[in-house]
């Protein structure tokens, strides 16, 4: 009975959020970059803080541009929030690969390689599921380099938005605002060391934010260090691994 009630509450939240984001989206002015994804499978990255409305980017760059013939799957954590996200994006026709750096990571990597081999794009939030905000976990680098794939960065910025007090500082566009969606040009990290590859992904995403009307690259860099220090204060006593290069910034 308890599980049935939990599932009912979860489904209620799913339908409410799905309806709400569509309602907001329909009131907004939207722009999309003219960039197109390649026909062959690739790796796509975007910040966890842009999850709220990124399904609409999928409708454009996958469903509309390829008339439903191209597919992507998002790596989503096995945590409770991950189940909520999985059910919402399923309504947009977006599949998932379950697992993350903190739980089920090996399983997610194996599934990601299998999906990519089958022609499916692998979509990753490199700072998810628990941060630090705007950090780059190993998964995005490993998948891109092992599959010899080009990477594309997705982003959106809104002229007016609510910013949640969550670790990822997620933004939710306000009704009647302007939302600028962008897909970057392809970039390659195949010949880069892990640290260089992570910095490349980070900077491409920050540049997308600047170009879409968000914070500048320099502002994002400063915010990253500030948020990293706050994140470390909250999590340093937990059993959480952090890259040595990030420790140097603390």
Closest listed residue to residue 135, CA positions, set 215, 51, 227, 70? 227
Predicted TM-score of the model (pTM): 0.94
* pLDDT digits 0-9 by tens, 74-131: 999 888 889 999 999 999 999 999 986 556 678 899 999 999 999 999 999 999 888 8
**CA distance linking residue 69 with residue 63, whole number of Å:** 7
The partner residues of 172 in beta bridges, in order of sequence, read 162
Contact 171, 162 (CB under 8 A): yes
User: What is the pLDDT at residue 122?
Assistant: 98
How many Å separate Cα 62 from the centre of its chain?
Answer: 16
**CA distance linking residue 157 with residue 174, whole number of Å:** 11
Q: What is the mean pLDDT of residues 36-64?
A: 97
Handedness of CA 236, 250, 218, 201 (dihedral sign): negative
CA-CA distances (angstroms) from residue 55 to 31, 147, 247? Answer: 15, 25, 34
Beta-carbon count within 10 A of 102 CB = 16
User: What is the pLDDT at residue 131?
Assistant: 87
| Higher per-residue pLDDT: 138 or 1 | 138
Least confident window among 31-35, 83-87, 237-241: 237-241
């Amino acid at each position: 009975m308890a599980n049935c009630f939990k599932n009912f509450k979860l489904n209620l939240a799913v339908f409410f959020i799905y309806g709400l984001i569509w309602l907001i989206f329909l009131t907004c002015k939207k722009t999309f970059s003219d960039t197109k994804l390649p026909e062959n499978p690739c790796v796509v990255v975007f910040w966890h803080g842009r999850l709220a409305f990124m399904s609409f980017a999928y409708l454009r760059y996958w469903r509309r541009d390829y008339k439903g013939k191209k597919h992507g799957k998002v790596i989503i954590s096995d945590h409770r929030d991950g189940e909520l996200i999985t059910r919402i994006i399923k309504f947009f026709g977006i599949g998932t690969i379950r697992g993350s750096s903190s739980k089920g990571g090996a399983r997610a990597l194996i599934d990601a390689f299998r999906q990519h081999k089958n022609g499916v794009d692998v979509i990753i939030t490199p700072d998810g599921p628990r941060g630090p905000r705007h950090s780059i976990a190993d998964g995005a680098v490993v998948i891109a380099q092992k599959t010899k794939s080009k990477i594309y960065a997705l982003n959106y910025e809104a002229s007016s938005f609510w910013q949640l007090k969550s670790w990822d500082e997620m933004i939710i566009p306000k009704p009647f605002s302007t939302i600028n969606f962008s897909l970057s040009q392809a970039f390659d990290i195949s010949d880069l060391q892990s640290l260089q590859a992570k910095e490349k992904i980070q900077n491409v995403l920050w540049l997308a934010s600047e170009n879409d009307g968000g914070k500048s690259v320099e502002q994002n860099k400063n915010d990253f260090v500030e948020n990293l220090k706050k994140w470390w204060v909250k999590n340093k006593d937990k059993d959480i691994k952090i890259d040595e290069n990030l420790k140097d910034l603390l």
